[in-house]
Amino acid sequence: MTTAAWIGSLAAILSVVSFTPQAWKIIRERRTRGLSAATYGLTCAAFGFWAVYGVLKGDLAIIVPNSICLLLAAFILLLILLPDRQTAAIAKAIEPVADD
């Protein structure tokens, strides 16, 4: 594997993993206060366009990580846009007992 491929793989892994702490924090705290719907909306659009670009180029190294990031960012955006009660219900379904 070339240096460029290693760096690209590391970037893809870090991009995917970077959404995990925020998603988990929402699930644990059962709220999204302070998060920007506009930021996550733009992030979703960017990942969507990157995924489409990867499809057009036929490059799985672009398609896969950007599609995963799109799903994670869209999940967070959904939780931001839902009423607090529904966000809490989804979080409870994922993690029945919150850390208090």
Q: Is residue 88 part of a domain?
A: yes
pTM of the entire predicted model: 0.85
SS3 8: helix
Whether residue 85 lies inside any domain: the answer is yes
Within-domain flag for 9: no
**51 in a domain, yes or no?**
yes
Per-residue pLDDT, 84 = 92
Number of folded domains that form the chain: 1
**pLDDT one digit per residue (tens) for the chain, 100 residues:** 899 989 989 999 999 999 899 999 999 999 999 999 999 999 999 999 999 999 999 999 899 999 999 999 999 999 999 999 999 999 999 988 745 4
Q: Which of 97, 82, 71, 91 is nearest to 24 (CA)?
A: 91
